[in-house]
Amino acid sequence: MAENRLARELESRSQQERPKQWQRPETLPQPDKQAGYAYRWVRVSSLGQADARNVSAKMREGWEPVRIEEQPQFKLLVDPNSRFKDNIEVAGLLLCKMPEDFVQQRKAHYDKLTQDQIESVDNNFMRENDPRMPLYRERKSTTSFGKGK
């Protein structure tokens, strides 16, 4: 009673894997990271109208446009009618880079501004404090989950 069976080594799990699912393509492709730099897409136009104010502000902040030679994989995606020749503009957004040190300094600056605003609001709130009915400023958040049926 010989059976027609394949050796177990010849069986493959890859045939039993689920087919990969379709994924929505990303609107903005990710650049290849260069050591020491952070990347960001900067708006240069919105609804077909140029946004020179935003571009100017970002350039003064330290963001510099990435040249197409630095990221050759974007060559086919670049807008042919772009005002920024030799740079990477996709759908009204310009790929820019900034040294990581500047990004950390920028983040520290805005974190300090945020902290100052929080302290200002707290001080204004606590000014109304009365010993007969004290106010508390709790900085705690909670998450609760409902009970399933």
Beta-bridged to residue 74, according to DSSP, are: none
Query: Using CA of residue 43, residue 46, residue 52, residue 57, what is the dihedral sign?
Result: negative
Residue 96's closest CA among 34, 38, 9, 29? Answer: 38
SS3 37: strand
Measured distance CA(43)–CA(49) in Å, rounded: 11
Quote the percentage of the chain above a pLDDT of 90. 19
Q: What is the pLDDT of residues 91-133, one digit of tens each?
A: 888 899 999 999 999 999 999 999 999 888 878 777 777 766 6
- The pTM is what? 0.60
Residue 24 domain-assigned? Answer: no
Please identify which residue in the block is written with the tokens 């040249």.
67
- Residue 70 near residue 64, CB atoms below 8 Å: no
Say how many domains are in the chain: 1
Query: Using CA of residue 115, residue 120, residue 125, residue 126, what is the dihedral sign?
Result: positive
Please identify which residue in the block is written with the tokens 């606590």.
126
- The answer to whether residue 4 scores a pLDDT higher than 80 is no
Residue 80 domain-assigned? Answer: yes
Residue 148: what pLDDT? 60
Strands (E), the chain: 37-43, 45-46, 49-50, 64-65, 89-90, 93-99
Residue 47 domain-assigned? Answer: yes
- Range 70-85 average pLDDT: 78
Residue 126 domain-assigned? Answer: no
- The answer to whether residue 13 scores a pLDDT higher than 60 is no
The CB-based long-range contact list for 76-84 (8 Å cut-off, 24+ gap) reads: 77/29, 83/44, 83/50, 84/44
Residue 59 domain-assigned? Answer: yes
* Domain limits for position 52: 39-99
Q: What is the mean pLDDT of the chain?
A: 79
Residue 8 domain-assigned? Answer: no
Residue 12 domain-assigned? Answer: no
Residue 110 domain-assigned? Answer: no
